[in-house]
Structure 1
Amino acid sequence: MTLPQHFAHFEQYFEQCTIFFEEYQHLFNFANTDILVKGVLESIPIENLKTVDVYEDDFNLRTEAENNVFLMNFFDKLDKLQANHDFIDYQNNIEYTIEVPLGPKKKHEIVYLANEIGKLCNKIGCNTVVDFGSGLGYLDQVIFDMTKYNVLGLECNENHYVGAKKRQNKYHSDSTGYVKYIKHRVTEQSHINLEEFLKDKFPNNNGFCITGLHSCADLTVDGMNIFLKMPDAKAMILMPCCYHKMRLEHFSDEKFTNFPLSNCLKEIYNKNRGSDYMRIPFLRLAAQPHLTSQRNTENLVFNLLARAVLQLYAHKHNYKLKRKKRKAVKVKTIQNDFESYAQDACTEGFLFINVSSPNKSDTNISNEASHQIKSFNQKIVFEELMSIWRELSQTTFKKAAIFILLQNYLQPLIENFILLDRIVYLREKGLLNTACKKIVNERISPRCLALFAHK
């Protein structure tokens, strides 16, 4: 990753990004479920877009910016801040087939990450790979099959750890002497354990590479610090994700332990009150999958506004919504029909908790109270939700589409900003061989960036 041509120093770039984020925080500094509660869409001007179909595949928000001062200024400032990535040539398909029960996205990630690991280890001269968060071992077996390197998989989930060993014994018995699994939760202090693990499993290794396909939350930063502490750690390739799940120093003001990370950004962040707008929603947007086409915009608008209507109702009546399952409403099966959405939300998807009642907190709800909350006047709730939905104007839907597209333009900038902070941190520690590269096709896997480093 390199700085845009307008900037010669990281300090200058971080400063201008911070100013930009503060100016446009009205597009991200909140939970998206609150867009109606907070009147977010009112700040999006669409005077020249009233007759435009924003759902057309060829609709281009940049083109429409020519007659819209708000959009013109937004794109002008945004473009000056876009960082440049090193690209891996993924156009030439790697001829490797994984015979595992995974989707094409995950297979693509595994093959291309394994290929990059092989190339970097060959360049640096290390013969062992340590996989942080190895899961069921899919990546580890592919690394061994492609490179014949030793692989040590560290996994904290008992079921995944056991599953990886069962898969190895059943399908990859030839790798049992070279691919080892240990149940271990990686932390910043795991360098002590890792040294012992490697002495035990691969005593003759000549240096190792740290990797992770899903280096979620703080795992990437923990991996970086382990890499810095261990002389035998020669290379590192980590694919970060879920930035918003990083550890909080103080929950009340949403300050993170590992963001900002570099001294360079910390100074600018503190000076410009970054904690006011670089909060959980900021990091969540960084982790949001980037849209490479607009074919799904109409569905995204429905999902956004449908959930926002629930939130508006809850806000009006002093309720807190608590999901009863991971996917509260199965939006793929209701075909953008709000009546079905509302019915499912009222009956199966959400618990409506009266936050004004001391006996109905979301941390201590009796079975009887829970049943009462779930079944209370569902017909009345449903009818009011339908009324709110019908009152939404076509302008609201159009603004919601533009809001989604604007966030999509912001997403790569915010993610680049976070990753550049990590690169600068490594350089402050004396590690100059660092880079952020796109290693997979973003049309197949939106989570396409990897952090590279070697000594």
Structure 2
Amino acid sequence: MAGPVDTCTCGTCCKVRVTIQQIFNVLDIYGWLLDSYVVDFFQEQLWEKLPNSWKIFLQTVSPEEFGKWLANDISCKRVWPLSLLALRQITKDLQLDRDHRNDGSTLRCRAKKFECNSENFIVENKNERSHEIHVALKKHNNLFLKHVKKKKRYEIQQIAQICADCAQESKTRCIVDIGAGMGHLARSLAFKHGLCVICIEQDTELSQQARKWDKELLISLSKHLPALSANRPQHVSIKLENTNSNRSKTTDDMQKIFSNDFNLSEKRSGFGIVGLHPCGDLAATLLKLYTSQCETRFICIVGCCYMKLTLKYPVSALSGYPLSKYLSSFANYKLSYTALEVACHAIESYCDKLKTGNYEDLIVHAYRAILETILIKRDSQLRHSQVKNVKVTKSMTLKQYCALATANFEEHLRPKDSDFQNLQVKFYLSRWQHIVIFGALRTMLAPLVETIVLLDRFLYLSENQLCPILKPIFDARLSPRNFLLFSMKNIEQTLF
């Protein structure tokens, strides 16, 4: 069981708290960019709200040039506004380093009293039999790739070994994969690494599909490796609730499954928690489960979908953000839905699009903003109406987009031919690249929002006397939400 809430005074945690303060200082000035809806670009005249020096300068900057500048390309020879240069630099200095190749990007709580056995959480597997099986399975790795998309394959390859090493280091064979989906990660942990895995998934259909593919994989593996001995993952379709009683019940249920289905001693079946991109509040729920239950040995989570976090102001036990006492004590700790949503975008991919001139599909944002002005003119109650998602191709016109986007609207509310002849609409369309650059400004600030969310979770573990590690483990271009938050309890804390 985690200890009482405490404030860690190690250098890392002190720096984390200062960084959070500095980020909010930046957002106090420029946070309106993140809080703006791009759909309101023309309606709210968002371009006019930019500092005058920016507006004048950016009038003559192409998206390609802006993308190169954003990526620190030295080929940019212009003299940029000083305040814009300063903002780019401060966002770079304050955000977490997203480069998975940089060893210096790892954050570790250094407090002595929080010390755990996780300083180097990748450990050598010394079980010879496990090593032999692992080598044999490697020859048939293609069997594990069936039904798995390229991005998910890459993620599983990276995180599965980390989870297996954590299990060995924390002296447990048991893992609970929460938000397991169709069980791709669980199958790798169970069959490749010989672990006992329980999958918790709210969607019953996904659990049923996972069982089908478990059976299919086991049959295929048995043909090539008749001597393979592995426990099939156990799938449970439940929703985790954010209450102490529910967390205790979940832990008891997991203990019973490990005892009954895997023939493990209930008193010795402490388990690790794994979450590969748990959506929204689920990441916060997993952290609360880990800190509140003594049976939980370690946690490995890579969060996502920050805009789905429950934002309770003032903070309550049901809040998904903030979690830490430190951040909860701030007078202004609020983050908007739009800020959290843009934090889920990939700044690397956005810059790549701009730099290479491959950004024509981004005209969809201008089309949608223009459609907004047309709809509001038709009826003010149509503001922020839900329209159909339309994939814009190079040849698609504004008129074609609007027809598809409003296909479900009543006829009298849909745009007419006369709307597209309107001089104001034509003027808006000529400024579509301004929307691209405005979006790039928001994307530049977005990593600050993700940094706040992740550092809040880091401090939450630290305050509960648990040793957190935060590290980018994926290539951000392949998997934009690439930070692993990891913690392992002392063995003495977890054993009865």
Residue ranges of structure 1 left out of the alignment (5+ in a row): 352-373
Check conservation: 2:183, 2:199, Cα contact below 8 A.
yes
Pick aligned residue for 2:427 from 371, 391, 396: 391
- The 3 A distance-change label for structure 1 pair 293 and 304 is closer
- The 3 A distance-change label for structure 1 pair 141 and 7 is closer
SS in 2 for 1:437: strand
Match of 2:367 in 1: 306
* 1:260 alignment partner AA: P
Provide the C-alpha distance between the structure 1 equivalents of 2:44 and 2:318, rounded to a whole number of angstroms: 25
Match of 1:211 in 2: 274
Which TM-score applies when normalising by structure 2? 0.75
Provide the C-alpha distance between the structure 1 equivalents of 2:82 and 2:322, rounded to a whole number of angstroms: 32
Provide the C-alpha distance between the structure 1 equivalents of 2:458 and 2:415, rounded to a whole number of angstroms: 54
Say yes or no: does 1:438 pair with 2:472.
yes
Matches within 5 A, 1:232-381: 232-249=295-312, 257-268=319-330, 270=331, 273-275=332-334, 278-292=335-349, 294-297=351-354, 298-299=359-360, 301-316=362-377, 317-320=379-382, 322-323=385-386, 328-333=388-393, 335-348=395-408, 351=409, 374-376=410-412, 378=414, 380=416
- The 3 A distance-change label for structure 1 pair 390 and 436 is same
Say yes or no: does 1:451 pair with 2:485.
yes
Match of 2:240 in 1: 186
* CA-to-aligned-CA distance 1:396-439 (integer Å, 9 cap, x gap): 333322222222221222101110011101111111x2122111
SS in 1 for 2:35: coil
Say yes or no: does 1:132 pair with 2:178.
yes
Stretch moving more, 68-77 or 129-138: 68-77
Check conservation: 2:181, 2:207, Cα contact below 8 A.
yes
- The 3 A distance-change label for structure 1 pair 386 and 307 is farther
* 1:23 alignment partner AA: I
* 1:82 alignment partner AA: Q
> Highest relative contact order (Cα 8 Å, sep 6+), 1 or 2?
2
Match of 2:231 in 1: 177
- The 3 A distance-change label for structure 1 pair 262 and 129 is same
How far did residue 56 of structure 1 move? 5.8
How far did residue 313 of structure 1 move? 2.3
* CA-to-aligned-CA distance 1:270-322 (integer Å, 9 cap, x gap): 2xx343xx211121122223333534342353021111112222333313254
Say yes or no: does 1:68 pair with 2:48.
no
Say yes or no: does 1:154 pair with 2:200.
yes
* 2:233 alignment partner AA: V
Match of 2:48 in 1: 42
Provide the C-alpha distance between the structure 2 equivalents of 1:70 and 1:292, rounded to a whole number of angstroms: 25
How far did residue 51 of structure 1 move? 4.2
Which TM-score applies when normalising by structure 1? 0.81
Check conservation: 1:439, 1:448, Cα contact below 8 A.
yes
How far did residue 222 of structure 1 move? 0.6
* 2:381 alignment partner AA: Y
How far did residue 11 of structure 1 move? 3.3
SS in 1 for 2:480: coil
Provide the C-alpha distance between the structure 2 equivalents of 1:200 and 1:323, rounded to a whole number of angstroms: 44
Residue ranges of structure 2 left out of the alignment (5+ in a row): 1-10, 104-134, 223-228, 490-496
Pick aligned residue for 1:119 from 165, 170, 187: 165
Match of 2:492 in 1: none
SS in 2 for 1:55: helix
Match of 1:371 in 2: none
How far did residue 392 of structure 1 move? 1.7
How far did residue 242 of structure 1 move? 0.9
Provide the C-alpha distance between the structure 2 equivalents of 1:334 and 1:407, rounded to a whole number of angstroms: 24
* 2:400 alignment partner AA: S
* 2:443 alignment partner AA: N
Structure with more strand by fraction: 1
Provide the C-alpha distance between the structure 1 equivalents of 2:92 and 2:79, rounded to a whole number of angstroms: 15
Check conservation: 2:283, 2:303, Cα contact below 8 A.
yes
- The 3 A distance-change label for structure 1 pair 22 and 385 is farther
Match of 1:33 in 2: 39
Provide the C-alpha distance between the structure 1 equivalents of 2:49 and 2:365, rounded to a whole number of angstroms: 17
